[in-house]
Every structure is written in C-alpha cells, then in structure tokens.
C-alpha cells in the first residue's frame, strides 16, 4: 500500500499554535505556510505536528514543509505533485465549495484522515487507504526494510509488549531524527532546581537555613539555575543568535513564549529580592519570597502546558498528570539543593525523600496507567528501552538511582544531590526520548 503523505494544512494547526515567532501561519486560503527566514530552528513545530510533515533543513537551520505549492496556487495553477502524477491520484480542491470535485468525492465515497483523534482537522482525505498505512506503529519492523535501511539512530528495539500486524511490513523509513535529547532533559532538571529553590524560599528558616545561606542562598540558587535553563534553551536553537525574534515577533499562544515571559519575570523578581536583601530592606524579603514561590510554581509547571501543545508526542500530553509531577520534581530538586546548605536538616531530608517517592509513583503511573491514544501507549512502552551506555535510563534512573539517593540523604546528605539529580536526569532523558520514538509516518 503506497500512501502519499504530506502536510494536511490542518484546520486547527498545532504547528501554528506552538511556533514562538509566528513563522508558521494559516493563510486565508487555508494553506499553512512557513516563513523560513523568520524560523529560529526551535523544532517545536516538529513535536506539535502529529503527521511528521515538517523537517529541518540542516543547511539553513530552519524548518521546511509542503506549502501546497502556494506560489502556483496563487496563479491558479495546480500543485506540482498533482500535475506530475500520471494517474490523477492526487485531487486538489476546496472542501468548502460544495460543487468542487473533492466535495463531490467526499459525498460519494468513504474518506479517511490520518489521526483524527488529535482534533487537528486534517484536510488531506484518503480514499481506499489501508488501516495499516493509517497506523504507522502497527506494521512489523523487520531487520531490513525493502526500500531503506533501518535508520541507525533508532537504536531501540520495537517494544515486545506492543502488538504488530504481521501481514504488514514497514518498507521505508524517512529517517527522522530524534530532535530533542539531553539538552531538553537537562533543561527540565535545571529548571526544577531554580523553581524548587524559590518555591521553598518562604520556608527557608523553618527548613534549617541560617546566616548567609538563609539570606541569599535560595535566590542565588534560583537565579543561577534559571540562567543555566535559559542558556540551554537558547543553545538548543538551530539559530541561537536569532532568539531575540521571540521578543520582536512573539506568538502569545505558544507556551514557548509564555514560558519565556515567566522565566524573565522570575529572574527580575529574584534580582529585586537579592538587591533588597543587600540594601537591608529586610521587611520586603518575605513578601517577595512569596511572590517568587508563586512564580516558581509557574516556572516548574509551564512545561506541562508546552508539552500539551506537542500534539505529535502523546506521551507528553497529559497535563493533568504532568503538571503535579513537575511540581513534585521541583520541590524535590529545591530540597536536595538546600540540603547542601544544612545537611543536618531533617525537614529537608523528609521533603526530599517523600517527593522522591512521589516522583517514582507518578513515573510508574505514566508508564503503566491508562493512555489516551495508541501513540501514547507506544511512547510509554519505549520508556524502559532507552539506554545511556550501560544504563537503562528509566529503570536505573527511577529505581536504582532513587534508592541510592535515599541512602545518601539518610547517611551522606551533603552530597545526596549527586545521585538524586543524576537519577532525575536519566529519567527525564528517557521521558523526552521515548515520547519521540513512536513513528508518525
């Protein structure tokens, strides 16, 4: 079964919503077009598109996609693929015009779209397509493919727990890269430390912080790790020098932009707190710490909303679970970092241990709980297949790493941050990578 796959020019295009610099636009004529010159190469649209319809032009550091041959359509010409097809298998037209051929065909024949459950309103409809072609995760994946090699980056085997259709075989793989990797995993950890330090800062005295570590510690930790977080975000762009476009042409619907605003605000209030502390305006410190804690919740949690905009990565999408999980992770990161200031603090040890156990519980639900789509189920099955050298990232990060960290919290608390944050990084890497492994095309 050969299936022509291209951009669906979706009615509710998630790629347009997530693009932080409005490089993607839904035109009045329905075409979803991309301005390559405006693109900063964040690859968020590639995570948002459930159809694998966007790829990165490495030479330009910018995304590219089918634009329905807008330059031809504007001159009343048909798209090039329509003209070149020898058997008229591709029929362009306007579904809103009841007299168009595509509208007639839709009435006469049963048509199907790819992944309707995503609610994107795809506008490429198929006649007579096989179910195996509509579900790219189902066909069996032999050791070698008919029309391409098995791509080298897909080092993970297909999870044995997932059902496959043995009478349908994958014959070609477009060799899509896994775009978000260790940088995003590290960003989740550093952001958690920054946010957690601020979230715990109003309770710094009760948690056993004294002297300079009480006065300046929470803000210095929060500011330092938030700066590292911002550095990681910028470094991950294919055009890091163009990050300023998020300021000059922001898309306020994108959680990348909303997250950027929250991070900026956070840094400003942290600097203000440090400045007032320095100048001895101590009466303002506690109210400001409460403000920092509230913004810290936003810093920790906004990623749940960003990941929910990634319609192509269903494992990341359940924000009702991801949001509390991120807040728990941030609290754990804050507590383990504060433990460096006072390793004898039992309140900090208890918070670190309880949140670490809650983190394990949430991660287990993420893997074994109900999943809303087949793609999410596949992503969850991949979690325990992700490796970093000899380590199984999910299993070792979650069970071995957390168990060692708890022993360190109890007996060597000063350096317990090393195993705990290392374990969290391994887990985040598995989560970020596994979400991108289920095939979309």
Binding residues (CB under 6 A) for ligand SF4: these are 6-10, 13-15, 18-19, 21, 23-24, 32, 34, 39-45, 49, 51, 53-54, 63, 65-69, 79-81, 120
Pick between residue 69 and residue 402 the one whose CB is nearest to ligand SF4: 69
Residue 180 CB, shortest distance to ligand SF4, in Å, is: 12
Pick between residue 49 and residue 383 the one whose CB is nearest to ligand SF4: 49
Pick between residue 69 and residue 223 the one whose CB is nearest to ligand SF4: 69
Residue 424 CB, shortest distance to ligand SF4, in Å, is: 27
Residue 366 and residue 225 in contact, taking contact as beta carbons nearer than 8 Å: no
Where do the H-state alpha helices sit in 249-345? 255-278, 285-308, 319-341
**Distant-in-sequence, close-in-space partners of 166: CB < 8 Å, separation ≥ 6:** 140
Pick between residue 257 and residue 416 the one whose CB is nearest to ligand SF4: 257
Residue 49 CB, shortest distance to ligand SF4, in Å, is: 3
User: Both tokens of residue 39?
Assistant: 């693109």
Element (H, E) at 32: strand 32-34
Q: Cα separation of 273 and 215, whole Å?
A: 10
Q: Cα separation of 21 and 153, whole Å?
A: 30
CA angle, corner 270, sides to 420 and 333, nearest 5?
A: 10
Q: Cα separation of 401 and 258, whole Å?
A: 33
Where do the H-state alpha helices sit in 3-68? 14-18, 44-48
Residue 437 CB, shortest distance to ligand SF4, in Å, is: 18
User: Both tokens of residue 356?
Assistant: 């670490």
Q: Cα separation of 402 and 309, whole Å?
A: 30
How many angstroms from the chain centroid is the CA of residue 321? 15
Residue 393 CB, shortest distance to ligand SF4, in Å, is: 26
Pick between residue 116 and residue 142 the one whose CB is nearest to ligand SF4: 116
- Identify the CA nearest to 140 among candidates 171, 170, 175: 170
Residue 392 CB, shortest distance to ligand SF4, in Å, is: 31
Pick between residue 21 and residue 335 the one whose CB is nearest to ligand SF4: 21
Q: Cα separation of 301 and 322, whole Å?
A: 8
Residue 54 CB, shortest distance to ligand SF4, in Å, is: 5
Pick between residue 40 and residue 360 the one whose CB is nearest to ligand SF4: 40
Helices 319-341 and 401-411: crossing angle in degrees, nearest 10, is 30
Residue bearing tokens 């990161």: 333
Pick between residue 63 and residue 332 the one whose CB is nearest to ligand SF4: 63
Pick between residue 236 and residue 428 the one whose CB is nearest to ligand SF4: 236
Residue 120 CB, shortest distance to ligand SF4, in Å, is: 6
Q: Cα separation of 324 and 72, whole Å?
A: 49
Pick between residue 52 and residue 156 the one whose CB is nearest to ligand SF4: 52
Residue 69 CB, shortest distance to ligand SF4, in Å, is: 4
Residue 194 CB, shortest distance to ligand SF4, in Å, is: 24
Residue bearing tokens 């259709």: 165
3-state SS record for 16-58:
HHHCCCCCEEECCCCCEEECCCCCCCCCHHHHHCCCCCEEEEC
């Amino acid at each position: 079964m050969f299936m022509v796959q291209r951009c669906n020019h979706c009615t509710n295009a998630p790629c347009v919503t997530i693009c932080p610099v409005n490089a993607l636009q839904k035109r009045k004529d329905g075409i979803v077009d991309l301005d390559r010159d405006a693109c900063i190469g964040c690859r968020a649209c590639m995570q948002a598109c459930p159809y694998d319809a966007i790829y990165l032009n490495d030479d330009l550091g910018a995304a590219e996609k089918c634009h329905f041959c807008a330059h031809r359509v504007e001159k009343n010409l048909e798209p090039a693929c329509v003209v070149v097809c020898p058997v008229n298998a591709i029929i362009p037209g306007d579904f809103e015009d009841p007299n168009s051929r595509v509208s007639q065909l839709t009435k006469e024949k049963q048509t199907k779209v790819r992944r309707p459950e995503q609610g994107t309103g795809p506008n490429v409809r198929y006649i007579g397509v096989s179910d195996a072609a509509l579900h790219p995760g189902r066909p069996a994946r032999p050791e070698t493919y008919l029309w391409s090699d098995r791509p080298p980056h897909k080092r993970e085997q297909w999870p044995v727990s997932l059902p496959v259709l043995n009478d349908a075989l994958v014959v070609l793989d477009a060799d899509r890269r896994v775009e978000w990797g260790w940088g995003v995993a590290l960003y989740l950890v550093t952001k958690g430390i920054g946010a957690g330090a601020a979230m715990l800062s109003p309770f710094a005295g009760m948690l056993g912080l004294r002297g300079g570590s009480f006065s300046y510690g929470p803000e210095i930790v929060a500011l330092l790790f938030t700066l590292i977080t911002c550095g990681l975000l910028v470094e991950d762009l294919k055009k890091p020098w163009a990050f300023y476009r998020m300021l000059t042409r922001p898309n306020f619907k994108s959680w990348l932009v909303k997250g950027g605003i929250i991070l900026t605000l956070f840094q400003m209030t942290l600097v203000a707190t440090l400045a007032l502390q320095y100048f001895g305006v101590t009466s303002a410190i506690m109210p400001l710490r409460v403000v920092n804690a509230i913004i810290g919740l936003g810093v920790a949690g906004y990623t749940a909303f960003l990941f929910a905009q990634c319609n192509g990565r269903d494992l990341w999408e359940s924000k009702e679970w991801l949001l509390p999980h991120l807040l728990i992770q941030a609290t754990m990161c804050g507590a383990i970092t504060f433990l460096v200031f006072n390793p004898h603090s039992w309140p900090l040890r208890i918070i670190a241990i309880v949140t670490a156990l809650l983190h394990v519980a949430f991660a287990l639900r993420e893997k074994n709980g109900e999943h809303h789509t087949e793609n999410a189920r596949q992503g969850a099955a991949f979690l325990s297949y992700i490796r970093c050298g000899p380590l199984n990232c999910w299993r070792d990060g979650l069970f071995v790493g957390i168990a060692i960290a708890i022993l360190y919290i109890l007996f060597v608390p000063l350096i317990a941050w090393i195993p705990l944050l290392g374990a969290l990084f391994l887990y985040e890497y598995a989560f970020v990578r596994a979400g991108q492994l289920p095939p979309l095309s």
